[in-house]
Amino acid sequence: MFRKIFALTPSDRLKQLPPYLFAEIDRRKRECLAKGKDLIDLGVGDPDLPTPGFIIDALTEAVRDPKNHRYALDEGMPAFRESIQRWFKKRFGVDLDKDKEILPLIGSKEGIAHLPLAVLNPGDVCLIPDPGYPPYRSGTLFAGGIPYFMPLLEDNGFLPDFSAVDAKALKKAKILYLNYPNNPTAAVASKAFFTKAVDFAYAHRLLIVQDASYSEISFDGYEAPSILEIPDAKGVAIEFHSLSKTYNMTGWRVGFAVGHRDAISLLSKVKTNIDSGIFQAIQLAGKRALDEGKKAYEENLKIYQRRRDLLVDGLKKLGWEVRCPQATFYCWIPVPPGSTSTEFAMKCLDQMNLVVTPGNGFGANGEGYFRISLTVPENRIQEALRRIEALHQHPHTARS
């Protein structure tokens, strides 16, 4: 006789997480694919372009070296940290101490999600943008923290209004999450905004966690600033960067954190107890990307810009209201009148075989919008536009 397998119940931490709003879309997407339907996936933020060959060559060379087959150093290889140091100085004009102000990560996501474990006590508050990247919330909850959501409203350029933060929440707050260029709204922030954020953080003893994963995906001559360019920002800010989107390396899992020394040190202690560092061959490939990759990602930007222009111009011709993004490879678009975000996403899937991401999946203030990713070839964007036109979707009414 077999013993009966007992069922596990989720921990209280998992129970606190919001429902996975994309689950039904994923289920229907699988059904469409199983039926052989011609599905166009505009929902995933994963580059369809391949990793550049010179980065793959660097990995191949490093993989063959037995020295790279052992445990990696938790704080990252000195050679990789030196490349990060050089890249940051060249890109933003900011000097970093390679030993105390730089920490390589297994993708920026894990660092962003693990940081609350390093600095929060149960009951501490995190100020989180809404809509926003889900790990800001989940990382806070896993650490026993309390999320406080700052609305990102179109009327304010999708920037948080620090003056509107509740005074009681602010007294308990320890972390302020920012993300510019922004996912999902594609909004950008100026140095003037970052200066306000730094002043706000000093006034209320907050650690700013600036997610700059899309800093290199920009168009029309725009270049995203680093918050560390602001005077004294290192005293209140840690910034996260990723090689994923810039060099088409999402599956490689490599990124880094820079800035506030104590935050870097505390995050490093958490990671020492959780992981054993990044495979050294990947670090050496990342080094090659930072040292030699500018031309490669500039070619990527030309591709994304053509896709952006094709989508935005095409939707405008059909009567849609669409903001043309200066950065990221996302378009954040109001849903047509009469539909919720989820209802519209389901309509796209069921009636047009198009996958888009409902805005409410990023938070309550994402309701009324949907996100499209520019991670499919131009011919697929053209086909998506044909399907939208064929369905005669109603254009947007003028918004006040």
**Each residue of 225-244: pLDDT tens digit?**
999 999 999 999 999 999 99
**Tens digits of residue pLDDT in 101-159:** 999 999 999 999 999 999 999 999 999 999 999 999 999 999 999 999 999 999 999 99
Q: What whole-number distance in Å separates Cα of residue 112 and Cα of residue 125?
A: 16
Which segment of 81-95, 107-121, 289-303 scores lowest on mean pLDDT? 289-303
Mean pLDDT (the chain) is: 93
Q: Report pLDDT for 400.
A: 37
**Residue 87 clears pLDDT 60, i.e. is over it:** yes
Confidence of residue 1 (pLDDT cuts 50, 70, 90): low
Q: For the chain, where do the domains classified as CATH 3.40.640.10 start and end?
A: 53-292
pLDDT band at 396 (very low <50, low <70, confident <90, very high): low
Contacts of 292 (CB under 8 A, 6+ apart): 54
Is residue 291 within 8 A of residue 247, CB to CB? The reply is no
| 398 vs 302 pLDDT, higher one | 302
Digit-coded pLDDT (tens) for 4-56: 788 888 888 888 887 766 667 778 888 888 888 899 999 988 899 999 999 99
Is pLDDT of 358 > 70? yes
Kindly indicate the confidence band of residue 394, based on its pLDDT and cuts at 50, 70 and 90. low
Q: What local confidence, expressed as pLDDT, does residue 393 receive?
A: 55
Q: 176-210: per-residue pLDDT in tens? A: 999 999 999 999 999 999 999 999 999 999 999 99
pLDDT of residue 20: 65
The residue type at 169: A
User: Which CATH number describes the domain made up of 53-292?
Assistant: 3.40.640.10
Contact present, 22 and 359 (Cβ < 8 Å): no
Classify the phi-psi angles of 189: left when phi > 0, otherwise alpha if psi is within -120 to 50, otherwise beta.
beta
**Which of 72 and 125 is assigned the larger pLDDT?**
125
Check pLDDT > 90 for residue 278: yes
| CATH 3.90.1150.10 in the chain, residue ranges | 12-50+295-390
At residue 251 the predicted structure's pLDDT band, cuts being 50, 70 and 90, is very high
Q: Which amino acid is at 19?
A: P
- CA distances (Å), origin 218, targets 254, 301, 328: 21, 7, 6
- How would residue 398 be classed by pLDDT, with cut points 50, 70 and 90? very low
- What confidence tier does 3 reach under pLDDT thresholds 50, 70, 90? confident
pLDDT for residue 30: 87
The CATH number that domain 12-50+295-390 falls under is 3.90.1150.10
**pLDDT at position 7, please?**
86
Question: What does the pLDDT average to over 285-309?
Answer: 94
Q: Tell me what the mean pLDDT of segment 323-335 comes to.
A: 96
